Amino acid sequence: MSLTTKEVNEFVFELSSRNPTPGGGGASALAGALGIALGGMVANLTIGKPSYADGEDELKSLKVAAYRVQKELLELIQRDADAFGPLAGAYRMPSGTDEERESKERVMESALKEASLVPLAMMKLCAESVVLLERLAALGNRLALSDAACGAALTAAAMRSAWLNVAVNTVSMRDGEFAGRVNAEGEALLREWIPRADAIYNGIEQTYARDD
């Protein structure tokens, strides 16, 4: 059974178990999917409202894009688990002889690379989410802005969490050039998109500030 077809309580209990998957990577993808789903909610609560008619065409496009990103993030929950399987197998390979050690290192290197690319893909999708949430916060129903802020907070958390799942794999790689490229891409995503996600949240939060 795919992890994404499990009931919520089953997934959460499995996350807390001793099983290696789902783990931090799957949780990161789920957080990202929840974040952009809240963006979709903002769109749905705005489309059809006469007072927001001027932005309706763009809102419909944003809704479609949000659903696509949400779907791709959910798919990465299972992909992350699938990528961990070969890595776990590599750790269990024998290493008593030079030939066994060489074989183990080769298999592990390949598995580490794949396991780093899945959370990097999560980060890229989170960046797309921020772009969508920025527009949804600008165009959306004022009564649903808190949902856009929550979506931005979840998206930022998802990106940070996904980054750790990139770094935990690249740090063990022998291919320093590959690891450097992946790390540089992940760090660049963090630098650009975390502040933008935080800006969405902070800007909306300030609208609820009380004077007393």
Task: Please state the rounded mean pLDDT for residues 97-120.
Answer: 86
User: What does the pLDDT read at residue 1?
Assistant: 57
Measuring CA to CA, how many Å separate 176 from each of 82, 181, 184? 24, 9, 12
Residue 174: which of 132, 112, 115 has the closest Cα?
A: 112
Q: What pTM value is reported for the model?
A: 0.92
| Minimum mean pLDDT range among 8-22, 52-66, 123-137, 186-200 | 8-22
- Residue 156 pLDDT > 60: yes
Distance of CA 171 to the CA centre of its chain: 20
Per-residue pLDDT reduced to its tens digit, 19-74: 888 889 999 999 999 999 999 999 999 999 999 999 999 999 999 999 999 999 99
What does the pLDDT look like over 132-141, one tens digit per residue?
999 999 999 9
Q: How far apart are CA 130 and CA 153, in angstroms?
A: 10
Residue 92, pLDDT > 70, answer yes
Indicate the average pLDDT of the chain: 92
- DSSP letters for 42-101: HHHTTTT-GGGGGGHHHHHHHHHHHHHHHHHHHHHHHHHHHHHHHHHHHHHS--SSHHHH
CB 101 within 8 A of CB 95: yes
Of 95-104, 113-122, 173-182, the least confident: 95-104
Out of 5-9, 48-52, 130-134, 163-167, least confident range: 5-9
Task: Parse the chain into domains and list their residue ranges.
Answer: 20-206
Q: Please give the radius of gyration of the chain, using alpha carbons only, rounded to the nearest integer.
A: 20
Instruction: Give the class (CATH, top level) of 20-206.
Output: mainly alpha
